[in-house]
């Protein structure tokens, strides 16, 4: 007595349509093509085109959204900045697919973007590596990029893959210095996502920065086991505060809830990956920003010079990592000075976090 009714199909379709158009309607400048659904087609050329030189087309697949205030947003912001610098839509088009937590879906999207003739396809997550290499073999003219990674696939005979990563421990160290000097308590809390990769680098660097500044400071580290478990991250923040923390930090898109808890309790927050100040203007002290514009521009330049891949990039405080103080939060001058000194020491090699 089970009928597979038309209305059910309708709802399923509506769900897919809504997720598929979740992005383009909102795309600020218009003309972008975006999708949230797996394998959604990118309907290529937009009205702005039509002049003789075809615009450069870059597509990106990311694990969270362009407004995640973390990893995905950092790359999207970089792409938009480069696009603006190059002259807008006419010179460069960006297509993106968000919330690809499912690697199989991401693999489909990577392939679709390559088939569709994008010049550069960015797989913005370590987990997409294998899927991307599979596609990269078939499209030697297309440039692929992925991160966090250092493997450009040279040992697989590939020459069309770029890899990128961030030395997150450098900014983590600086944030740790700031954290050690900000709170008036002897405890600092860290709301970690998954104990691996970029997050682990950041957190380990952070702990080292705290300990180097105040060896007696207690740093409590917890992980939620997920990048997107906002509710558990908020509860972790609550727990850290109950355990005496007056300064918190954390990583990944899950932290939006934790930052809210910090603000509610009057506890300072140190951000990473993207600018998290808007979430709690009075309590976010500083952010380590990932500025990918240099990486993007270099990939484009190399491609125009004939090298479709083969380089591995690493953001450092010397190039790409930026410590941004939030002007609305009250940061004492001596704290800023200590942070500046740490930045200079890392840049000049006097300090090498995690070595």
**Which parts of this chain interact with other proteins (CB under 8 A)?**
1-5, 7-8, 11-12, 14-23, 25-26, 36-37, 64-65, 67-69, 98-99, 189, 192, 195, 220-226, 228-232, 234-236, 238-240, 242-243, 253, 256-257, 259-260, 263-264, 278-280
Q: Are 281 and 328 in contact (CB under 8 A)?
A: yes
Supply the minimum distance, in Å, between the C-beta of residue 246 and other proteins: 14
Q: Are 152 and 308 in contact (CB under 8 A)?
A: no
CB nearer to other proteins: give 158 or 252: 252
**Distance (Å, whole) CA 250 – CA 69:** 12
Radius of gyration of the chain from Cα atoms?
Answer: 21
Residues of 74-111 as b/e, b for ≥16 C-beta within 10 angstroms?
Answer: bbbbbbbebbeebeebbbbbbbbbbbbeebebbbbbbb
CB nearer to other proteins: give 260 or 310: 260
Supply the minimum distance, in Å, between the C-beta of residue 225 and other proteins: 3
CB nearer to other proteins: give 19 or 213: 19
Write down the number of H helices and E strands in the chain.
10, 13
**Residue owning tokens 């088939």:** 115
CB nearer to other proteins: give 45 or 228: 228
CB nearer to other proteins: give 62 or 335: 62
Give the number of other CB atoms < 10 A from CB of residue 116. 16
Supply the minimum distance, in Å, between the C-beta of residue 197 and other proteins: 13
Supply the minimum distance, in Å, between the C-beta of residue 79 and other proteins: 16
Cis peptide before 53 (omega within 30 of 0): no
Supply the minimum distance, in Å, between the C-beta of residue 288 and other proteins: 19
CB nearer to other proteins: give 8 or 301: 8
Supply the minimum distance, in Å, between the C-beta of residue 318 and other proteins: 29
Give me the torsion for CA of 116, 120, 126, 132, rounded to 10°: 40
């Amino acid at each position: 007595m089970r009928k597979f009714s038309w209305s059910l199909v309708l709802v399923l379709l509506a769900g897919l349509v809504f997720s598929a158009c979740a992005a383009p309607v909102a795309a600020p400048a218009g003309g972008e093509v975006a999708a949230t659904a797996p394998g959604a087609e990118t309907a290529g050329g937009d009205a702005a085109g039509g002049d003789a030189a075809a615009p450069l087309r870059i597509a990106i697949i990311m694990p969270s959204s362009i407004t995640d205030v973390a990893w995905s947003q950092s790359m999207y912001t970089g792409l938009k900045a480069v696009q603006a610098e190059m002259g807008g839509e006419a010179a460069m088009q960006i297509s993106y697919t968000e919330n690809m937590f499912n690697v199989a879906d991401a693999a489909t999207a990577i392939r679709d973007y390559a088939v569709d003739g994008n010049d550069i396809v960015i797989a913005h997550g370590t987990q997409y590596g294998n899927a991307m290499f599979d596609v990269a073999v078939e499209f030697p003219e297309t440039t692929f990029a992925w991160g966090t990674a250092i493997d450009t696939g040279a040992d697989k005979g590939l020459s069309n893959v770029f890899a990128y990563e961030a030395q997150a421990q450098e900014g983590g160290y600086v944030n740790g210095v700031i954290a050690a000097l900000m709170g008036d308590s002897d405890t600092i809390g860290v709301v970690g996502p998954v104990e691996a990769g970029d997050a682990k680098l950041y957190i380990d660097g952070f702990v080292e920065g705290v300990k180097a500044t105040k060896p007696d400071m207690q740093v409590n580290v917890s992980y939620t086991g997920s990048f997107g478990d906002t509710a558990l991250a908020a509860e972790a923040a609550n727990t850290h505060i109950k355990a005496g923390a007056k300064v918190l930090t954390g990583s990944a898109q899950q932290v939006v809830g934790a930052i809210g808890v910090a603000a509610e309790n009057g506890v300072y927050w140190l951000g990473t990956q993207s600018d998290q100040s808007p979430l709690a203007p009075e309590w976010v002290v500083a952010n380590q920003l990932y500025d990918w514009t240099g990486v993007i521009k270099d990939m484009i330049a190399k491609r125009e010079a004939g090298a479709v891949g083969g380089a591995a990039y690493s953001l450092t405080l010397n190039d790409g990592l930026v410590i941004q103080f939030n002007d609305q939060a009250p940061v004492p001058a001596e704290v800023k000075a200590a942070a500046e000194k740490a930045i200079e020491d890392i840049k000049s090699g006097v300090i090498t976090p995690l070595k």
